[in-house]
Structure 1
Amino acid sequence: MNDERYTVISADCHAGADLLDYRPYLDKRHHDEFDAWAATYVNPYEDLVADTADRNWNSERRLAELEADGIVAEVVFPNTIPPFFPSGSLMAPAPSTADFERRWAGLRAHNRWLADFCEAAPGRRAGVFQILLNDVDEAVREIRRASRAGLTGGVLLPGTPPGSGLPELYSSAYDPIWAVCEELGVVVNHHGGSASPPLGDEPAARAVFMVETTWFSHRALWHLVFGGAFRRHPGLRLVLTEQGSGWIPGVLDMLDYYHGRLVPAATKASTAESKFGAGLAARMGERPSRVWRDNCFVGASFMRPHEVPLRERIGVEKIMWGSDYPHDEGTHPYSREGLRYAYAGVPRDEVAAMVGGNAARVYGFDLDALDAIAAKVGPAVTELAEPLAQPPADATSPVFAKGASLRVW
């Protein structure tokens, strides 16, 4: 941040190739299968067949729209469907070994495309690459390859929803993944919406999904904490993105309570309580709030005003704002207004950390280089200090929705 403008880095954006543009990134032995698959594939997502879908892959358009929104760099999560997947879910059932092989090929194609997409805007995109959890050795190989390819956004950790048939995330089966991420300094990202079980087609399914999806995503935190991943790999870093942030203080209090209750109980005579804590102290180590302080961050996306007063309990140095571009629920093209709505009245150094400084530190952006761009396009310090009187009439982000925060219009 310079004296007059903020350097804004969105810690939550999404991109992907147009369907047929993945073909050159596939190994040639998969080209015929890809042609057959693509010829019959029907995209289930309206935004990926709309006239605006090219925001996912049109580099020049994307840079222009983000700059107009006051954003100079982005962490890029996937968005479009990788080859050979029936939907956007990385946990969609794969009936056979051959299906898994094709899906791995599809994810590698996406990761290769993403590396080129990031190279098209040097220093301004940190690409988040994808893996599957069905083959830990293959996941480790892909983490090494993607890291060498310059994808600095880290790895996207899939969920293990009920019915997936995979070990839970607390399982030591995933230790080779945590080990290679610690070794290479690769950030582990867990994005909201990636851990929910299928809910069927009943009318209530979407409403239930909305109620439950963030909770299922939060589970990665307590699974890795109680599973001891951070004790065995103290350099491991976890980012929880687009899951909100207001829940964090209460959940940390709850996890500390169980840690403080079960660990001592395990040292006592054999009781029902002691059985629940057996082996926990040796496995997980520090209390959860300490693990959060040392190892975890939140991609808070379009942070809501009622979450901002909790920033000290969350940790100002842990919070990374994101616009969720190009999603309809994101703040584009009203990111400046969204930032004003959330951060007006907050000390300037804290705003600078949450809207850019923290993301630069976690994902390795060069702030000095980005400051030069922000000097031309970043939101003014005086602008964000001014409270927003009314939301834009045509804004689609829920950050502006009445009832979405404790501040009432």
Structure 2
Amino acid sequence: MSQFDPYTIISSDTHAGLPTELYRDYLARRHHAAFDRFLAEREEQLRAITELGVRDEDFAANWFESNEDVLRSGWEVDRRDTELDKDGVTAEVVFPDADAVESRTCVPFGAGLGLSGDTDPELGLAGAQAHNRWLAELCRTSPERRRGVALIPITADLPEVLAEIRRIKADGLGGVMIPAMWMNQAPYHDRKYDPVWALCEELELPVVTHSGPADRDAYGNHLGIYVTEVTWWPARPLWFLLWSGVFERFPRLKFGVTEAGCWWVGNLLWFMDRLLLGSRGAAKLAGFDEVKLLPSEYFDRNCFIGSSNTKRREIGMRYEIGVGNICWGNDFPHPEGTWPETHRILRKNFADVPVEETRVMLGEAVADVYGFDLAALAPHARRIGVTPETLGQTGPDGTVRDLETKWAAAREIGRHWITGHDTAPAINPNAEALEV
């Protein structure tokens, strides 16, 4: 591959979903009465949060007026492909709930991004199945460009959960999203979930969490609390799986945390590694018999981060996080993502990042996790035409700039607690304006 070849940009986090009332055709008939009640309750909830000032009505009105046609790409595939092309995206990993402003495309019975262990098990599984059936249809269009992530409420009845995992694999979906919060159900260190991990490992289905749910009863109307801790909930299962030996028992299982940033990863790995490297704080503990490797070694082998709208600061932390563990995403079509400004934001954030590292974070890492065929995507990448030149990585003479030297010291330090350096690397040597 030439340094000048186009980037194959794969978003690790996009969203699609039907307008909620249209899911009726994908629901078993026995759930239609409950679905009608759900629709009525959802309308009442929307009115309530508007009256409480939780929802910014002016923003919502402007958002839908300004993007009325484009937002239909949340469920209309032809519009979707056109919008992805315009945004510079070659392929996508698809999560539920296209509308993140008014939840007009939410999955029945709250089984979408808000999926948690307190969802009614029967209705939660029914809603998830309805979305999974529709999503498989969406992904059969331009299948080389899409990997749909199925909704799997694994706290429900285990035989039914395993049957749905087998079904979605046969239907062509490429991942399994589990609840970020198990609530009053068994936590994820419980061995009852081992059949789920074993089946996902066997079928080569990555298991992921996604931000969205949080302890709503605790934060009330104080949205600052919500936005501060909403990234913690999807990350929490990671250490439950790691410390309980799930990654030891299932060494080929892939687990990812999506749309929760990656700024926290380096410090978490530093903290967890220190426990096994002789931290004074861990000296009084009996040991960690269920783990045989350093946490950072499990992370590199088993884990990845669907890092939506990866910030400049996080890119500067990539040698602690692991370049190959960062999977960029545009969060299309949510307003907090990079769409429709992806070209500008990528140029601002990656202009001084080495080309080969950029290729990994923008596409190759997520292709490896979800099994995208890079050769099949190459014609799309050439047509879309995002290159090192368009990202500002070439000089006036047209050659790729020397971008390795600038980051050499940070790369050498890497994970300083392992490499032996006493201090963490500077986040951005020769600092330029940062995307915050």
- How far the C-alpha of 1:408 sits from its partner, in A, is 7.3
State the TM-score, normalizing by the size of structure 2.
0.79
Q: How does 1:1-400 map to 2 (within 5 A)?
A: 3-38=4-39, 41-42=42-43, 44=46, 50=64, 51=68, 53-79=71-97, 80-85=105-110, 89-91=114-116, 93-94=118-119, 99-132=120-153, 133-152=155-174, 154-160=175-181, 164-194=183-213, 196-200=214-218, 202-203=220-221, 205-261=222-278, 273-275=284-286, 277=287, 280-281=288-289, 283-385=290-392
Give unpaired runs (5+ residues) of structure 2. Answer: 47-54, 98-104, 395-431
- RMSD of aligned C-alpha atoms? 2.8
In 1: Cα distance, 2:197 partner to 2:112 partner = 27
- Secondary structure of 1:240's counterpart equals strand
Structure 2 CA distance for partners of 1:201 and 1:126, relative to 1, 3 Å: same
In 2: Cα distance, 1:62 partner to 1:8 partner = 16
Output one character per residue of 1:178-223: Cα deviation in whole Å (capped at 9) or x when no partner: 11111111101111234x22245644x2101111121222212211
In 2: Cα distance, 1:202 partner to 1:362 partner = 37
* Greater shift in the superposed pair: 348-357 or 99-108: 99-108
In 2: Cα distance, 1:216 partner to 1:229 partner = 19
Output one character per residue of 1:23-52: Cα deviation in whole Å (capped at 9) or x when no partner: 221123333443454355417488699435
Matched, 1:407 2:419: no
Please tell me the residue identity of whatever aligns with 1:243: A
Q: How many pairs align? A: 373
Structure 2 CA distance for partners of 1:406 and 1:246, relative to 1, 3 Å: farther
- How far the C-alpha of 1:407 sits from its partner, in A, is 2.2
- Secondary structure of 2:335's counterpart equals coil
In 2: Cα distance, 1:86 partner to 1:137 partner = 19
- Secondary structure of 1:71's counterpart equals coil
Please tell me the residue identity of whatever aligns with 2:224: A
Structure 2 CA distance for partners of 1:35 and 1:217, relative to 1, 3 Å: closer
State the TM-score, normalizing by the size of structure 1.
0.84
The answer for the alignment partner of 1:269 in structure 2 is none
In 1: Cα distance, 2:126 partner to 2:346 partner = 39
The answer for the alignment partner of 1:393 in structure 2 is none
Q: Percent identity?
A: 38
Output one character per residue of 1:344-376: Cα deviation in whole Å (capped at 9) or x when no partner: 111111111111111111111111121111111
Give unpaired runs (5+ residues) of structure 1. Answer: 267-272, 388-404
